Amino acid sequence: MASTNPEVEALIPQFKLEKLLNQDQAGRRIILLGTIQDKHSILLAERAAFSIEKVQLESFSTSLKNVKNLGANDIYSWFLASTSSEPDSSQPPDLKINLIWPCTEKHIKKYSQQGIRLVTETPEIYKNNVRPYIEKQRGEGRLDWIFNIIEGRTEQEDVFYREHGEEGFLVLPDLNWDRKTMTSLHLLGLVERRDIWSVRDLQKKHITWLQHMREKLLEATVKLYPELEKDQLKLYIHYQPTYYHFHIHIVHVALEAGATQATGKALGLENIIGQLETIGGADEAAGMAEVSLTYTVGEASELWTEIFQPLRKGA
């Protein structure tokens, strides 16, 4: 005979923990081994989806407790917070919050739900359409927050490795990481030079620099986090990136691959180096501007509305 709801609900408080079996989904799910009434049991706990009822959304920001700022740079700020109803609760923060203020229309388009398209950017489309678009995106102070870091005005307490010079770079946590869940580790390697805007600017002459940077990124990360080994880290580059100043993402291999690591968005650093080694023979100026790249774009993005949609209609 099936158990009643009250009987089943009474089992949860009886769970006695033996050990943590796993933590995944960037720390949002835990799998515990324990016993109930002296019998082994597995408890899977996953954070419930947010309510999208208007009354809940209107009170969301004021319902947060123990809000702690982790950092701020230009229009970007990031925090930890708790949904506990007790203001002095010892429960650790269960929310990672990013704030963009004031935001632009471009931000609104980026974060709005929209259709996705797969496009192929040929060398000709890059030269004639996308490169001018990138030049425009680099203007109007949109990279000020990056230059603030590089020039030492903000976030210097977070920089844990740096090399200065024409080929210099630095490493710091990505604002989307909670800085404690190791399997969701996400770091950024920012280059100091300003002549490389995206993967398209990489050439054969940059291979040695990229190899050096890759090794130093790995070494610095495992030195700061000794519980990690180099083969537990994955390095990739976005195309198209969120901002057009060359940077490398360093993540734990166990970090679940969402849209930001998917085919059509992320290019493995090792694969890029390998491709550069085979491009153009002995021509050191040969590079990624000479190949076709296929990637995804949102239907609200300017890349779609101003470039690829008109090109498709004119085909």
Respond yes or no: is residue 249 known to be catalytic. no
Q: Characterise 71 by phi-psi region: left (phi > 0), alpha (psi -120 to 50), beta (else).
A: left
Catalytic-role residue among 238, 247, 249, 252 = 247
User: Considering only CA atoms, which of 55, 54, 34 is closest in space to residue 43?
Assistant: 34
Asked if the peptide bond before residue 102 counts as cis, ω within 30 degrees of 0, the response is: yes
Determine which helix (DSSP H) or strand (DSSP E) holds 170, and give its type and residue range: strand 169-173
Determine which helix (DSSP H) or strand (DSSP E) holds 95, and give its type and residue range: strand 95-100
User: Considering only CA atoms, which of 198, 206, 233 is closest in space to residue 217?
Assistant: 233
Query: What burial letters (b/e) apply to 86-122, b meaning 16+ CB within 10 Å?
Result: eeeeeeebebbbeeeeeeeeeeeeeeeeeeebebebe
Return the SS3 of 57.
helix
- Could you give the residue ranges of the DSSP H alpha helices within 65-130? 105-111, 123-125
Residues carrying an active site annotation: 247
